[in-house]
Chains A and B, each alone.
Chain A
Amino acid sequence: MRDRTPDLLRKLFPAQGCRTRTIFSAMKIAVCIKRTPDSESRFKVVAGGSGIDEAGLKFDMDDFASYAVEAALQINEKQGPGETIVFAVGPDAIQETLRKAMSMGADRAVHLKADGALFDGLSVATALAAELKGGGYDLILFGKHAFDSSAGVVGTATGELLGLPCVTAVSQLDVGGGKGSARREIEGAGEIVEFPLPAVVTIDEGVARPRYPSLKGIMAAKKKPLETKPAQLGAARVVVKAMELPADRPPGRIIGQGAAAVPELVRLLQEEAKVL
């Protein structure tokens, strides 16, 4: 456990809360994470098509969420004694994911308990915003989207509900001195932005490669605080009607060997596929 959290600093220097932050640049960072099935899995849909068959699937922290956790840890390592708190909305199984984030180095975790498939991002954002509001976070990080819903709604919507500046899908991030700068990849170009803190930022690939939890980290995580409370979800107005597997592509075919097959390929592209 860290011995100098910003809360402690603020207690020590109650009249100089702002100066405390300037002196130590300590940041209080929230990271909202998600647990998703291993993306390499072969998925099946349950009978009736109400969802995917979770039997045999391995779940772990979503890739983009893990980049966000790593980004928060690196910022706090660079800026001096800060605090990283992880949040997740979901069933009890998500506690394992929160523990993993703590084994990477997060200081504590908050589990907002909710059951079922959560495909209404705005509903989830409502629960997170209610929890994060008034928490005094300098920075709130999310993955740019999660593998399962692949929608990228929760982070941005949470930022909007909190009324904070929000920058999405950043591939580079630099914060300090009460402000941040970031790069976003947009189609065929990069966008460089600056923004004041506190802010909400969603993390794309490129910002940070997640560390593996050390054995020491795993042991320490067992003793770190994990608070559980019910999620105050907003109304779910986007709900799953059915799931199905995409139609298989026709089986592939090999048309030939080496450069000798090129004329046949060109003919097929012209006459059959009509793309040339």
Chain B
Amino acid sequence: MPNVLVFAETRGADLRKVALEATTAARAFVDANGGGEVHALLAGPSGVAAKAESLGKHGADVVLVCEHASFARYAREAIAATLAARAKSGYRVVFIPFSSNGRDLAPRVAAKLDAPLASDVTSVSMSGDAITVKHPGYANKVIVELTVTGSPAIISLRPSAFTPAEKPHAGKTEAIQPAADPGAERVVVKDVTEGAKGKLDLGEAPVIISGGRGLKAAENFKLVEDLASAFGNAAVGATRAVTDDGWRPHSDQIGQTGRQVSPQLYVAVGISGAIQHLAGMRTARTIVAINKDPEAPIFKVADYGIVGDVLEVLPALTAAVREAKKG
């Protein structure tokens, strides 16, 4: 009967999708191991309590609500202290998303508790008292299976590896206090510069349209953006060559040294498929490649390849996707 504590990550007063993924994973883990309770810690600014309902719907029995004005931004020291203080009270496992802030948070909590930590995990199982996890290491080229001894086991979950699923539980809210003053952070967030409104994050978008040098010029990324907007649920990525040239920001880079993504659909446009790029997207469910060179390595991994000039194929594809979305 393992009880699991979930860090339900927020941005401002919004719940992030990874919070629902982690809650879903916790519910499934508990149910597969003889039952137990899922508690979600929801820290955010005033009003964040309204998000508890969604956590309950995804399987949380209890939602621990910690509201504080300073939690509108990532108050790393106070969040870590609060999560660690709570984690001490009898949980077998603590699930934290392996998001930008979650991967910052998990080692803090593990060090505070002197608890074992396994990171960027894609599956978790328990047999008797032993917890085993799988973690794609070596930039996704080797699956590393790890045994995690000790309690609570801190486990950070790879975004998109678990799909949010509804499994309604009580989601009873309980207000808790921060374990350290969120107004007394040594690391002070001065600003959060949001990207374009409504822009989907690469780690969360179901569809990614990604461009490489084959687009020939920075302004041709407009064609990539057009295709993304035709899909409606797509984000735009890029290769390292392109971000190094300043055609796109570094944060858009997909690959070994950039983002590693697993969308449902990845469309590689004018991308040859260097091994460093493949490391960032080879776990996508479906891969489409458009490239003029039939020998490009990207065609070895592409479920559907089109050989041709991207400047000619892209507008046709954008029009066809718009048409398909209408129907």
Q: Mark A194-208, 1 if CB is under 8 A from B, else 0.
A: 111000000001100
Is the pair A268, B304 in contact by a Cβ cutoff of 8 Å? yes
A3 adjacent to chain B (CB < 8 Å): no
**Contact: A237 with B137, CB < 8 Å?**
no
A31 at the interface (CB under 8 A from B): no
A 50-63 binary contact with B (CB < 8 Å = 1; else 0): 00100000000001
Interface residues of B in 212-253 (CB under 8 A from A): 231, 250-251, 253
Q: Which residues of A contact B302 (CB under 8 A)?
A: 252-254
**If the complex has contacts A160-B111, A268-B304, are A238 and B189 also in contact, measured as CB distance less than 8 A?**
no
CB distance from B69 to the nearest CB of A (A): 17
Complex Cα spacing A254 to B307, Å: 7
A149 nearest CB neighbor, chain B only: B137
What residues of B have a CB within 8 angstroms of the CB of A251 in the complex?
300
Complex Cα distance, B153 from A120, in Å, reads: 12
Residue numbers in B under 8 Å from A257 (CB-CB) = 306-308
Contact across chains for A253 and B119 when beta carbons are under 8 A apart: no
Given known pairs A151-B119, A187-B201, the reply for A273 and B303 (CB within 8 Å) is: yes
Of A151, A160, A196, A253, most buried by chain B (CB within 10 Å of CB) is A151
B110 touches A153 (CB 8 A): yes
Which residue from A43, A160, A195 sits with its C-beta under 8 Å from B108? A160
Given contacts A122-B117, A186-B99, 8 further A-B contacts (CB under 8 A): A43-B141, A121-B117, A125-B107, A160-B112, A190-B192, A234-B114, A243-B145, A257-B308
The verdict on A152 contacting chain B, using a C-beta distance below 8 Å, is yes
Chief secondary structure at chain B's binding surface:
mixed
The answer to the question of B100 belonging to the interface, with a C-beta cut-off of 8 Å to chain A, is yes
0/1 string, A38-79, CB within 8 A of B gives 1: 011001010000001000000000011000000000000000
Decide if A240 touches B144 in the complex (CB within 8 Å): yes
Inter-chain contact A191/B74, CB cutoff 8 Å = yes
- Return the contact of A120 from the options B103, B116, B276, B303 (Cβ within 8 A): B116
> B111: which of A125, A194, A243, A256 is its contact (CB, 8 Å)?
A125
Tell me which of B23-31, B172-180, B316-324 binds A: B316-324
Query: Assuming A52-B142, A249-B301, A269-B304, is B193 touching A189 (CB within 8 A)?
Result: yes
Rounded to whole Å, the gap between the CB of B178 and the closest CB of chain A is 17
**In this complex, what residue of A is CB-closest to B325?**
A276
Contact B186 A195 (CB under 8 A): yes
A270 and B320 CA atoms in complex are apart in Å by 12
Interface set, chain A 149-165, CB cutoff 8 A to B: 149-157, 160-161, 165
Q: Which residues of A135-179 are within 8 A (CB) of B?
A: 147-157, 160-161, 165-169, 171
CA distance A148 to B135 in the complex (A): 11
**A258–B250 touching, CB < 8 Å:** no
A276 CA to B108 CA, complexed, in Å: 41
| Closest CB in chain A relative to B47 CB, distance in Å | 20
Selected from A64, A245, A250, A275, the residue in CB contact (under 8 A) with B265 is A275
Complex: A151 Cα to B136 Cα, angstroms: 10
Q: Please, which residues of chain A bring their CB within 8 A of the CB of B312?
A: 258-259
| Most chain B beta-carbon neighbours within 10 Å: one of A168, A169, A192, A266 | A168
Instruction: Give 15 CB contacts A-B under 8 Å.
Output: A45-B142, A122-B114, A168-B103, A181-B190, A186-B74, A186-B192, A187-B202, A192-B190, A239-B147, A244-B142, A252-B289, A252-B300, A257-B308, A269-B304, A275-B286
Q: How far is the CA of A155 from the CA of B231 in the complex (A)?
A: 39
Q: Pick the residue among A120, A156, A206, A259 that contacts B104 (CB under 8 A).
A: A156
User: Are B258 and A275 touching (Cβ within 8 A)?
Assistant: no
From known contacts A151-B119, A160-B111, A186-B100, infer whether A259 and B186 are also in contact, taking CB-CB under 8 Å: no
Bound Cα distance from A160 to B117, whole angstroms: 14
Chain A hits for B201, CB < 8 A: 187-188
B-chain residues with CB within 8 Å of residue A161 when the two chains form the complex: 111
- 4 closest Cβ contacts across the A-B interface? A258-B308, A151-B119, A160-B111, A156-B107
Q: Are A245 and B143 in contact (CB under 8 A)?
A: yes
Q: Are A246 and B143 in contact (CB under 8 A)?
A: yes
Q: A194-B188, A269-B286 are in contact. Are A121 and B119 (CB under 8 A)?
A: yes
Q: How far is the CA of A151 from the CA of B214 in the complex (A)?
A: 33
